[in-house]
Amino acid sequence: MSNKEIWRDITDPRRAEYVDDLEAGLKEPEFENLQIPEHLGPVQEKIDDHKIKRYAFEIDEYNPWFLEKSPFYDGARIGGAGMLVNDLVQMFTTVYRASHVIGLHTEEQIWFNSPAHMGEVVTLEGEYVDSYVLRGQGYVVMDAEVKGEDGRSIIRHRGVEILKTVPGDISGRASATPEKRVEGVVAPDARYLQHITDDVKVGDAIQPIQKTITAEQAAVYSRVGEFVTNIHNNLEMSRKGNLRIPIVQGAQMFCTLTQMLTDFFGKDFFTSGWLRTKFISSVKVFEPFTLNGVVTDVEMLEDGRKKVSLEVWIRRGSDERMAVIGWQAASLAKYQKRLAGCETVVATVAIHFCVSAKNCIAFHKIVCYNAKEEPRAL
């Protein structure tokens, strides 16, 4: 198959013009039908303009690196850090009927190794590696990875999901029990940062971000464009799951955290980031929520990099209840290299990117101020 024929998603919805049942031949998503181990894929996808822009809409993340020019691959446009997360989560639908699934994502873990860039063909492949029953629910564990056209790792995934359940019956209680507690509290005297600084310290907090996922954004993220129906993009399916209104997919909530962490860490998050989350209560479409993070550890590594770890969490706006908790880490590039040639202080300046008169986002760039020359970006 040539690059021109490779589609941007797991399935090619254009088949609907001549295929009656787009999921014919696939297994019913029942716990009893699992085979452990069970191979998923491979699937090839084209990273095109539409895929990059669509993800920006789904998360409301209009970073210039996605739409104009990035600091990677000689300036090539890249996709958001979380752009391929749901593609990996949904790899099971290469074997099981996607529109018959009424499940619940309980845990997500991603290792970020490199960004995907405009025009390349990536390969997704995964495997169901474990299954178990807990509190009457059947859980399945998947490992998967996306590799670039050159064979490099883009992201690695480990996810846990209840294959089939009644989400409305369990979404009001914690569907995932964390081994490590996240308090979700920031000290009264904490320093709030929008962008990481060289003097980052334990107790520093990320400036909270308020977001809302609309029904349109949830539907697009949850594959309505591939004619998949589920509790995230279809009201009837939601009602079958004992939900009054669609809920935001766990992977989409995860991706809002990658937006916050991309803003905080910059390019280092794409090459050394790690994020693990537990989904403990659902968020409805149109329901406001707030993203938070606090630094829990700062460690100097032997190679000169600085590893910064955080606890992150999302609170629902309706009742301030925790919806997502997580743990995150990224290793910063050697600060000495970033400051090479600087004789004086480094400053962080905000660059504003606007997609409309009311929708502007501030991005930050380290700038070197030398007494003998004009300021220059690092």
- 116-137 pLDDT, tens digit per residue, is 999 999 999 999 999 999 888 8
List of domains in the chain: 13-171+181-338 (3.10.129.10), 339-378 (no CATH)
pLDDT 10s digits, 230-289: 889 999 989 988 899 999 999 999 999 999 999 999 999 999 999 999 999 999 999 999
Q: Which residues pair with 139 in a beta bridge?
A: 132, 162
Confidence check: pLDDT of 195 > 50: yes
- Ordered strands of the 274-279 beta sheet: 38-46, 121-134, 137-147, 153-162, 104-112, 274-279, 322-332, 306-316, 289-300, 205-211, 192-193
140-149, 160-169, 181-190, 195-204: range with lowest mean pLDDT: 160-169
- The token duo for 263 is 């803003």
**Pairing of the two strands 104-112 and 153-162:** antiparallel
- Between CA 193 and CA 205 the distance in angstroms is 6
Cα 267 to Cα 114, 140, 190: the distances in Å are 9, 33, 25
Name the amino acid, one letter, at 25: G
Model pTM? 0.85
Cα 374 to Cα 8, 228, 356: the distances in Å are 43, 54, 31
| 11-27 mean pLDDT | 94
Q: What is the pLDDT of residue 4?
A: 59
Cα 129 to Cα 32, 103, 145, 222: the distances in Å are 15, 18, 13, 24
